[in-house]
Amino acid sequence: MAFTMSGRPLYWRLLVFTILAFLISLSTASLGDMLPDFKECVTVSRFLERRHLKQELDHKQLTVDTRSRYARLKIATVERHIYVRIGSFLRTLSIFILRANPDLDCCLQALHLRLLLWDCPAECDYTCQHIITDRRVNRDPPMLDPVVQFHGKWPFYRTLGMQETFSVIFSFMNLLAHHHGMSRVRESIPPSYPLRRFYLAFGYFGLASWVFSMVFHTRDLPLTEKLDYYGAGASVMYGLYLSVVRIFRLDQTRPRYKPTLLRYWTFICTGLYIGHASYLSFWSWNYTYNMAANVAVGIVQNCLWTWFSISRYRKYMKSWTAWPGMIVAWIIVAMSLELLDFPPWYGLIDAHSLWHLGTVVPTAWWYLFLVRDAQDDIAGERLKA
């Protein structure tokens, strides 16, 4: 059995490795942002963007009013300022880069890109990331680490405007796992069972978190990032809430103090989450704090479920009673994939997307345990009656 005393050191090693993975990922700076070539490319592309806007305005100047004359004068002033700053060399360089990279005209965007809020500056930044990355990859002699991160992310290739295609796909697979699991709960557990509503609530939190994950990985914006973090935080916090409710059976009405304990526990978890979200929103959007908070909450619930699994298996010697501990171990191994923070394969699949893939099976497995546990509990109550 995996939960012997000799197996515990392995469990804690995996736990420590997982924490280190997140700390390493948070402390690594984005080298790509500092590259002179990248800065120069962005400057040139934005110069071309302004030139494109001026040409578009001149084209529409057949019937002009006072407002459009002012706009044209304003753009012309900006352009003169750019000419003074970057000089004739940069203008020559911009023509050379435009000929070598026709896609650098950042304002020529398809409709689906505009719908996903890919504006000119974002398009310029994306294009320059891949221009610089391609140059570094094809350099002779080759570089030791040709692919670097920009703005804390690897340079992914878009698919239909989606920034991290496989993270979106794997997030959707997790969404389906929750949806299918909730259907199992509804079909297999009677409405009268007191824990049923807690299990369904767990599913709704999971659905919300994976929807926000899909949105964020489709388009990384300040709003989508916040939704992803808030959704993930709520899902993790509810996981802790559910673990205490199930393990200590706070759903029961006897003894009399249990409903009171449930109310207090609900108040504590709600207050902790509100405080967490408020700190991020109004005090400091701190990535290190956010990750540390989620890891701490996750560790507590993982330890609770592991202890619950060991004690139940020793008592009943049924294989399914060990499932929670096995699921916890699986998730820890999947999270440790973050240690393998490698450049995306073919510009599409990275370690973070594989971590999302690694949570699909344990999510489906978890609902199987909830149903099996509920059915066993109901059968036991019938025998007592």
Domains and CATH numbers, the chain: 10-28+157-384 (1.20.1070), 32-137 (no CATH)
Residue 274 has pLDDT above 70, yes or no: yes
Is there a contact between 27 and 344 (Cβ–Cβ < 8 Å)?
no
pLDDT of residue 80: 46
CA dihedral 118, 52, 96, 150 (to 10 degrees): -20
Kindly report, residue by residue over 354-370, the tens digit of the pLDDT.
Answer: 999 999 999 999 999 99
353 token code pair:
């997307």
As beta bridge partners, residue 345 has 349
Q: How far is CA 159 from CA 72, 203, 266, 297, in A?
A: 36, 29, 42, 35
pLDDT of residue 107: 61
Residue 59: burial class (beta carbons within 10 Å; 0-12, 13-18, 19+): exposed
Mean pLDDT of the chain: 81
Is there a contact between 104 and 130 (Cβ–Cβ < 8 Å)?
no
d(C-alpha 178, C-alpha 205), whole Å: 9
Listed ranges 56-60, 205-209, 346-350; the one with the highest mean pLDDT = 205-209
Going by C-alpha positions, the residue among 186, 135, 179, 151 that lies closest to residue 30 is 151
Burial letters for 269-303: b for 16+ Cβ neighbours within 10 Å, e otherwise?
Answer: beebbeebbeebeeeeeeeeebbebbbebbeebbe
d(C-alpha 168, C-alpha 357), whole Å: 10
What are the counts of helices (DSSP H) followed by strands (DSSP E) for the chain? 13, 0
d(C-alpha 236, C-alpha 226), whole Å: 15
Specify the range with the lowest mean pLDDT, choosing from 63-67, 206-210, 272-276, 328-332. 63-67
Q: How far is CA 236 from CA 55, 118, 242, 300, in A?
A: 52, 31, 10, 11
The average pLDDT across 146-169 equals 91
Percentage of the chain surpassing pLDDT 90?
52
* 214 CA to centre of own chain: 8
SS3 63: coil
Percentage of the chain surpassing pLDDT 70?
74
Listed ranges 11-20, 124-133, 153-162, 305-314; the one with the highest mean pLDDT = 305-314
Is there a contact between 161 and 116 (Cβ–Cβ < 8 Å)?
yes
The amino acid at 274? I
Which spans in 219-250 are helix H? 222-247
194 token code pair:
């007191």
Which has more pLDDT, 201 or 97? 201
- Count CB-CB contacts under 10 A for residue 186: 14
Residue 178 has pLDDT above 80, yes or no: yes
Contacts of 25 (CB under 8 A, 6+ apart): 338, 341
Is there a contact between 324 and 63 (Cβ–Cβ < 8 Å)?
no
The average pLDDT across 310-333 equals 95
d(C-alpha 202, C-alpha 196), whole Å: 10
d(C-alpha 250, C-alpha 260), whole Å: 9
d(C-alpha 230, C-alpha 68), whole Å: 43
